[in-house]
Amino acid sequence: MSLPESTLRLYYDDATLARFSATVTAVANDGRVVYLDRTALYPTSGGQPHDLGTLADVPIVDVVDEEAHVAHHLTEPLGLPVGAMVVGQVDMTRRVDHMQQHTAQHLLSALLTDEYGWPTVSVHFGDDYSTVDVACADGIDQDTLAHIEQRANALALGNHAVTVSYEDAATATGLRKASDRDGTLRIVTIEGLDRSACGGTHVAGTGEIGAILLRRAERTRGNTRIEFLAGYRAVRRARLDADLLARAARPLSAAPADLPVLVEQQQLRLTELERERKRLTSELAAYEAQSLWDRAPLVNDVRRIRHDTTGAVKDADPLVQQLLARGACVVLVTNMQSGGVLLAASPESGLDAGQTLRSALQSAGGRGGGSPRVAQGAVASPSALPALIAALGF
Ligand SMILES: [Zn+2]
């Protein structure tokens, strides 16, 4: 495959060009990878994700920057030979979204450096939100974040022109960050705010960024990372947040604005109720224990106490502890539906609950074990439980 010079990048001079015609200069991978003499499709580069769209109505899955050339990866073979003309279409919803996030990042980086003294360390454009890491070691509190957000939106509304120029690296001045490239630089200027060397796609005026939403800031490796969304994305996020708040407020029959106080009140109430529940459970266990103790038969001065439960046998632990504290006893807790079994023995009983239950379960085809005081397990089938109960002498 030999490719002529390089792909002419139409998006450099017109980020709004949605439809274009071009000539196929080479194909690879059975026609699934296509090279053109010119393209309006942006390849992943400079942190900005690639465009989507179609070539001759065949969907594009990826656009790759191969330095001199742009490779268009398609879902299926193009079916056209080298030399053929094709029409390319850019998915402009996705493109405009990228233009809004990218230009918002230029504006935020300029604002954070010039007004707060925090130069940008790195940026990331994500599917849900984007981030800008700034050299701010102490973190940014919510009030400051809200202030930055206000300033960013005021600058966006100022509708500063965003223009592209080509200047020689040796003579270009006033750049936000010195470029390490030689020769001609593509410089993106936000009138009165910023001059940066950049190959990405941007809106024509900051007003087109739309709303800028700063969601949160967190410290990360000596810097601070700010999460931001711009344009339609910010509006969609705000809509989602409003819906989430409305959903959270519905079961409380409250207005979203009352949620913080209500949720705190509910949390306190829950803690209070849980404390009360624990107290009542332990009180109930004491009554139940007394009743079981009084009714239990004495065998060789040891009470043999049988208790059946419909819950998990381990939940009978408060009751079991109450009984063990009363004196010489062996306690058997069963669940006839699940086949669960718990055996407990007080020190005065002379019985090792763990050993006794383990060997009884082995003969009954079950599993379990525990300490000399409390052991638990289950039979393989609940129908084996009566035989196990009899084997344990209850
Ligand atoms: Zn840029």
Residue 68 CA, ligand 1 centroid: distance in Å = 20
Residue 271 CA, ligand 1 centroid: distance in Å = 52
Residue 139 CA, ligand 1 centroid: distance in Å = 25
Is the pTM higher than 0.85? The answer reads no
- Find the helix or strand (DSSP H, E) in which 159 lies: none
Residue 96 CA, ligand 1 centroid: distance in Å = 13
Residuewise pLDDT in 10s, the chain (394 residues):
556 689 999 999 999 999 999 999 999 999 999 999 999 999 999 889 999 999 999 999 999 999 999 999 999 999 999 999 999 999 999 999 999 999 999 999 999 999 999 999 999 999 899 999 999 999 999 999 999 999 999 999 999 999 999 999 888 888 988 778 888 999 999 999 999 999 999 999 999 999 999 999 999 999 999 999 999 999 999 999 999 999 999 998 989 899 999 999 999 999 999 999 999 988 988 999 999 999 999 999 999 999 999 999 999 998 999 999 999 999 999 999 999 999 999 999 999 999 999 999 998 888 899 999 999 999 989 999 999 999 998 9
**Which of 373, 297, 286 is closest to 326 using CA atoms?**
286
Whether residue 107 contacts residue 119, with contact meaning beta carbons closer than 8 Å, is answered with: no
Residue 188 CA, ligand 1 centroid: distance in Å = 7
Q: What pLDDT was estimated at residue 3? A: 62
Q: What pLDDT was estimated at residue 363? A: 85
Residue 292 CA, ligand 1 centroid: distance in Å = 78
Residue 139 backbone dihedrals phi, psi, to 5 degrees:
80, 170
Instruction: Point out which residues pair with 219 in neighbouring strands.
Output: 224
- Based on its alpha-carbon atoms, the radius of gyration of the chain, rounded to whole angstroms, reads 36
Residue 126 CA, ligand 1 centroid: distance in Å = 15
Name the residue with tokens 């009984």: 323
Whether residue 53 contacts residue 88, with contact meaning beta carbons closer than 8 Å, is answered with: yes
Whether residue 11 contacts residue 42, with contact meaning beta carbons closer than 8 Å, is answered with: yes
What is the token pair recorded at 105? 């990042």
Angstrom CA distances, 100 to 111, 184, 211, 322, stand at: 16, 26, 9, 68
Residue 200 CA, ligand 1 centroid: distance in Å = 5
Residue 143 CA, ligand 1 centroid: distance in Å = 28
HSE, CB side, 13 Å, CA atoms: give it for residue 188: 25
Residue 72 CA, ligand 1 centroid: distance in Å = 22
Residue 201 CA, ligand 1 centroid: distance in Å = 6
Residue 52 CA, ligand 1 centroid: distance in Å = 19
DSSP for 207-236, written as a single string: GGG--EEEEEEEEETTEEEEEEEETHHHHH
Residue 124 CA, ligand 1 centroid: distance in Å = 12
Q: What pLDDT was estimated at residue 179? A: 78
Q: What is the dihedral of CA 92, 95, 100, 103, to 10 degrees?
A: -130
Residue 255 CA, ligand 1 centroid: distance in Å = 42
353 Cβ neighbours under 8 A, 6+ residues apart = 330, 343, 344, 345, 370, 371, 372, 373, 374, 375
Residue 102 CA, ligand 1 centroid: distance in Å = 6
Residue 40 CA, ligand 1 centroid: distance in Å = 16
Whether residue 5 contacts residue 35, with contact meaning beta carbons closer than 8 Å, is answered with: no
Residue 363 CA, ligand 1 centroid: distance in Å = 75
